[in-house]
Amino acid sequence: MRDEVVSSVLDGEVLVLTINNPPVNALSNAVRTQLQAAVLAARSEHAVAGIVITGAGKCFSAGADIRELGGERTHPWTGEVATTIETSTKPVVVAIHGHALGGGLEIALGAHYRITEPSARFALPEVRLGLLPGGGGTQRLPRLVGAGQAVRMMMSGDSISAGDAAEIGLVDAISDKGTLVDRAKEQVRKMAAAGILRRTCDATALSDTAASLKQVDEVWKKLEGKAKRQVAPARIADAVRAAALHSLDDGLAVEAVGFAECMASPQRQGLIHAFLAEKRATHSPVNAPGRDIRSVAVIGGGTMGSGIVAALLNAGFEVMMMERDETSLAAGKERVSAIFQRSIKSGRLDETGVACALRRFAGSTCYSDIATADLVIEAAFEDMNVKKAIFSELDRVCKQGAILATNTSYLDVNEIAASVCRSSDVIGLHFFSPAHVMKLLEVVAAEATAPDVIATGFELAKKLGKTPVLAGVCDGFIGNRILYVFREAANFLMEDGASPYEIDEALEEFGFAMGPFRTADLTGGDIGWATRQRKAANRDPHARYVRIADALCERGWFGQKAGRGYYRYDEPGRGLCDPDVLEIIERERKERGVRARRFSGQEIVDRYLAAMVNEAAKILDDGIALRPSDIDVTMVLGYGFPRWKGGPLKYADMEGLPGILKNIRTFATDDPLFWKPAPLLLFLVEEGKCFEDLNRKEKKHA
Ligand code: T1G
């Protein structure tokens, strides 16, 4: 007999079925098979008056086993199990703690009564995997809570609390902690004695068909343009409309067709890849526990420093901000306060929570005040001399065992580590702005960094609710190194004939939140200008260099903050195309003897993505990233790569590496230096392999 993943215990006349499939009670085939068999068997067992279904461990169930999705769909499907429960001739009560997500919640929706612990959370997050709830959720949830509430939950994939679930009618009762299963048994006995079966299919929240359809249309109208281009949201809307219009069986048929379409979509492949890639990335790359971190000092109260302070306070740490003088410290503290005020305004935090966080926040201008910090994060000006001076002070005052981290976005962490006696305690923690919002954290391991310091970086990321990605030391680590290259590809396209506006449009149509030129205007052209000037002395004289960005910066056209950059910002919004910029581009082309040509949207995407993929392959060749999917995580979470395409290397696998390499070889005829194919890319194509083949190998930091 397969391992028992659903246990059955008869307590008096109540049969208690417990799902026990660690770590999250995913609905594997074994769980679905054993659960359905137990419910069916109970029908003919006279000793059984009714059934309680609950979960062992930390949650009720996290839904379908995501690792099984994409493979052959085996019976009994989740929806079949939910229907078996709903049509049971004896009352079935589910007792929910932790999470009831996806198929886990759909199982609960098939039950006749739902009771939960106060801390439980509920969601149908399938849309985040490119799917719709395929286990009856699109039909049963609207019948319980109404079309509007149901379609909002399914379109966002967000979870709701037990209190909110009770309020909208998703759950029927909330038990005190520790009495959940007893309360559920009591409920079974009551329903059995009264001969009550409350089938969800009979619930009446959809009784007003016209109102229900209107609610679905209202939610659909508010969706972002991109969501409308995705498959799953549209199919969710169709399925909920069917729930309002048809019987349960007919509605389930519409759901099944929609689910099959989503399963066949490349978006489902991309989104599931993105989910699994993030989980893989968060695994610590070293076999060592991290150090205990309670108090953290942040050097610098600028945009990054204040964002990092807010992230640490939100995660419950004691935080000391250090600045060079009282005026700068006051400004830094004000930035932190402004972040929290915005969180209160948006409803993300309440006054009490903020007051509690700020009680753990202090400031100082004296290094001696951070001597006892467990971790110091330097977030000062991006200048090597400034950083070395700070690390010299930290080396002098910090306690033994303190971890000294730099937030630098591209400077040499090996050089910083070598400047102090305790090099093995030095690490890079590259946060992305705004640091209290962006999920990505590049954990940059210098050659000297100790394994337990790397482990601490990964544990810190998890506590901050961020996704860590291990990076080696090079200019730009993973993300910024790729950013520099695909920005160059965009600049070459611009000089060769495409306007910045056509390039942005093509890439935003591909799915980027913002094209490279709109992004440059947002972040500020002066930053890139300073980088180019920094690199000028060491620039390869044979490397192509486009001067257009410099020409704009020389005029002070730094982007949004200057009122103009590639676009004009005469009024709030996404900016207007600027004929003066096109004139400057024309002039630069003439000076360079470039004969402009037209580029289609596909040609723009092909060049931009080929540059990204080729540089990512070089990063893997150089050992800067552990695996291809870590690069996908970096580009999706940190640089706006469309999540439903999985990331640049997942996209490359799905497009086919031979085609990518063919493009690179074609582009190399004009510029063999920039378009030199990465050795790894050549190897994979020759071997008929893909980047995914490298993801399957478990990798540890050497
Ligand atoms: N399937 C398989 N593994 C899962 C899983 C799942 N559904 N959820 C989590 N894991 C693994 C995860 O990879 C990690 O493993 C470990 O569990 C702990 O996770 C029919 C088709 C549940 C809130 O989208 O939101 O149902 O990487 O580190 O922070 O309509 O995991 O360590 O080896 O995240 O406490 C819908 C996704 C499926 C839930 C727990 N369900 N999971 O968070 O732990 S589609 C989801 C989560 C579906 C039906 C459809 C979170 C969590 P490893 P963790 P956590």
Give me the pLDDT at residue 347, please: 85
CB-ligand 1 contact for 63 (6 Å cutoff): yes
Give me the pLDDT at residue 191, please: 97
Query: For all residues of the chain together, what is the average pLDDT?
Result: 94
Residue 539: pLDDT band with limits 50, 70, 90: confident
Tell me: the pLDDT tens digits for 353-411?
A: 899 999 999 999 999 999 999 999 999 988 899 999 999 999 999 999 999 999 998 89
Same domain for 422 and 463, yes or no, is yes
Question: What stretch of H or E contains 16?
Answer: strand 14-19
C-alpha of residue 103 to centroid of ligand 1, in Å? 11
User: Is residue 132 situated within a structural domain?
Assistant: yes
The closest-lying atom of ligand 1 relative to the alpha carbon of residue 63 is: 26
C-alpha of residue 108 to centroid of ligand 1, in Å? 17
pLDDT for 701 beyond 90: no
Q: What is d(CA 461, CA 637) in angstroms, rounded to the nearest whole number?
A: 14
C-alpha of residue 133 to centroid of ligand 1, in Å? 15
Last residue of a domain, one of 418, 452, 471: 471
Q: How does strand 576-577 pair with strand 567-568? A: antiparallel
Same domain for 498 and 374, yes or no, is no
Give me the pLDDT at residue 227, please: 74
Residues 6+ apart with CB under 8 A from 298: 305, 308, 309, 312, 319, 320, 321, 322, 376, 377, 379
Same domain for 536 and 466, yes or no, is no
User: Is residue 302 situated within a structural domain?
Assistant: yes
| Packing angle of the helix pair 479-496, 601-621 (nearest 10 deg) | 150
Beta-strand runs (E) in 99-143: 99-101, 113-116, 121-123
pLDDT for 70 beyond 80: no
- Nearest-CA neighbor of 606 among 511, 506, 526, 698? 506
Which structural domain, as residue segments, surrounds residue 320? 295-471
Angle at 382 between CA 490 and CA 520, to 5 degrees: 25
3-state SS class at 470: strand
Same domain for 156 and 58, yes or no, is yes
Q: What is d(CA 365, CA 44) in angstroms, rounded to the nearest whole number?
A: 76
User: Is residue 530 situated within a structural domain?
Assistant: yes
Tell me: the pLDDT tens digits for 594-653?
A: 999 999 999 999 999 999 999 999 999 999 999 999 999 999 999 999 999 999 999 999
Are the C-beta atoms of residues 441 and 470 closer than 8 Å to each other?
no
Residue 228: pLDDT band with limits 50, 70, 90: low
CB-ligand 1 contact for 64 (6 Å cutoff): yes
CB-ligand 1 contact for 357 (6 Å cutoff): no
User: Is residue 276 situated within a structural domain?
Assistant: no
* Residue 126 is among the residues annotated as catalytic for this protein: yes
174-180 mean pLDDT: 89
The CATH code of the domain that includes 67 is 3.90.226.10
User: Is residue 499 situated within a structural domain?
Assistant: yes
User: Is residue 568 situated within a structural domain?
Assistant: yes
Same domain for 380 and 465, yes or no, is yes
pLDDT for 1 beyond 70: no
Q: What is the residue type of 691? A: F
CB-ligand 1 contact for 101 (6 Å cutoff): yes
CB-ligand 1 contact for 279 (6 Å cutoff): yes
C-alpha of residue 24 to centroid of ligand 1, in Å? 7
Catalytic member of 106, 278, 378, 442: 106
Last residue of a domain, one of 437, 471, 505: 471
- Please state, for a pLDDT cut of 70, what percent of the chain lies above it: 99
Q: What is d(CA 362, CA 358) in angstroms, rounded to the nearest whole number?
A: 8
Q: Would you state the structure tokens that stand for residue 317, as one six-digit string?
A: 């740490």
The protein residue whose alpha carbon is closest to atom 12 in ligand 1 is: 279
The closest-lying atom of ligand 1 relative to the alpha carbon of residue 124 is: 36
Give me the pLDDT at residue 595, please: 93
Give me the pLDDT at residue 454, please: 98
User: Is residue 570 situated within a structural domain?
Assistant: yes
pLDDT for 524 beyond 90: no
Give me the pLDDT at residue 226, please: 61
Same domain for 241 and 299, yes or no, is no
Same domain for 600 and 463, yes or no, is no
C-alpha of residue 219 to centroid of ligand 1, in Å? 27
Give me the pLDDT at residue 2, please: 55
Same domain for 456 and 540, yes or no, is no
Q: How does strand 160-161 pair with strand 121-123? A: antiparallel
C-alpha of residue 441 to centroid of ligand 1, in Å? 21
- Nearest-CA neighbor of 455 among 315, 630, 293, 328? 293
The protein residue whose alpha carbon is closest to atom 15 in ligand 1 is: 279
Residues 6+ apart with CB under 8 A from 573: none
- Nearest-CA neighbor of 553 among 541, 562, 545, 544? 562
Q: How does strand 467-471 pair with strand 567-568? A: unpaired
Same domain for 358 and 452, yes or no, is yes
Same domain for 60 and 201, yes or no, is yes
Residue 358 vs residues 291, 307, 464: alpha-carbon distances, Å: 25, 14, 16
Q: How does strand 99-101 pair with strand 121-123? A: parallel
The closest-lying atom of ligand 1 relative to the alpha carbon of residue 121 is: 23
Give me the pLDDT at residue 366, please: 96
User: How many angstroms from the chain centroid is the CA of residue 144?
Assistant: 30
CB-ligand 1 contact for 62 (6 Å cutoff): yes
3-state SS class at 366: coil
Q: How does strand 375-378 pair with strand 295-299? A: parallel
Same domain for 513 and 445, yes or no, is no
- DSSP 8-state secondary structure symbol assigned to residue 64: B
- To which residue do tokens 């969180």 refer? 343
- Nearest-CA neighbor of 93 among 64, 114, 62? 114
CB-ligand 1 contact for 67 (6 Å cutoff): yes
Are the C-beta atoms of residues 466 and 480 closer than 8 Å to each other?
no
Last residue of a domain, one of 471, 488, 512: 471
Give me the pLDDT at residue 190, please: 97
- State the total domains in the chain: 3
pLDDT for 485 beyond 70: yes
* Residue 323 is among the residues annotated as catalytic for this protein: no
Residue 222: pLDDT band with limits 50, 70, 90: confident
The protein residue whose alpha carbon is closest to atom 10 in ligand 1 is: 24
Q: Between 686 and 534, name the one with better pLDDT.
A: 686
CB-ligand 1 contact for 130 (6 Å cutoff): no
Tell me: the pLDDT tens digits for 427-455?
A: 999 999 899 999 999 999 999 999 999 99
The closest-lying atom of ligand 1 relative to the alpha carbon of residue 65 is: 1
Question: What stretch of H or E contains 272?
Answer: helix 266-282
User: Is residue 279 situated within a structural domain?
Assistant: no
The CATH code of the domain that includes 405 is 3.40.50.720
Same domain for 668 and 524, yes or no, is yes
Q: Between 659 and 534, name the one with better pLDDT.
A: 659
CB-ligand 1 contact for 126 (6 Å cutoff): yes
The CATH code of the domain that includes 499 is 1.10.1040.50
Residues 6+ apart with CB under 8 A from 603: none
C-alpha of residue 57 to centroid of ligand 1, in Å? 14
